Amino acid sequence: MNIKIRSRKILLGVVGGVAVIALAAGGSAYALASGDDDDTDRPIPAADLEQAEQAALAETGGGKVTDTEVDDEESKYEVEVTLEDGSQVDVQLDEDFQVVSTETDGPDDDNGDRDDDSDEDRDD
């Protein structure tokens, strides 16, 4: 009888250990796959900030600058502008503060996806 109890304890310990490892591996995979690189985001330096903000606000026709980033994956500068209706526009600027593209999120887009078709790429 004592052997049965000991076998069950060993089995439960092994199953529990495997479950812990699986959860840890799954959490690590999720963190890597989520693509959230906020830890590496750097704001636009003060020397360039005013010029970047002016270029972005001129492109959007107003609003409030709510975030900036330098050297993101799409351009030299990214300026996020929140409009009066709550929508957000990400304005991509090159090193000369010329608009490269814009991307708009509607006010109902809570998950941060930018999958609407309002993306404008510029070739000029």
Instruction: Please check the confidence at residue 102 and state whether its pLDDT lies above 80.
Output: yes
Same domain, 54 and 69: yes
Measured from the Cβ of residue 65, the count of other Cβ atoms closer than 10 Å reads 18
Judge residue 14's burial from the number of C-beta atoms within 10 Å of its C-beta, 0-12 exposed, 13-18 middle, 19 or more buried. exposed
Say which CATH number the domain at 111 has.
3.30.505.20
Same domain, 95 and 44: yes
Same domain, 42 and 88: yes
Q: How do residues 64-98 score in pLDDT, each as one tens digit?
A: 999 999 998 889 999 999 999 999 999 999 999 99
Instruction: Please check the confidence at residue 18 and state whether its pLDDT lies above 70.
Output: no
| Domain coverage including residue 77 | 38-121
What predicted TM-score, i.e. pTM, was given to this entire model? 0.57
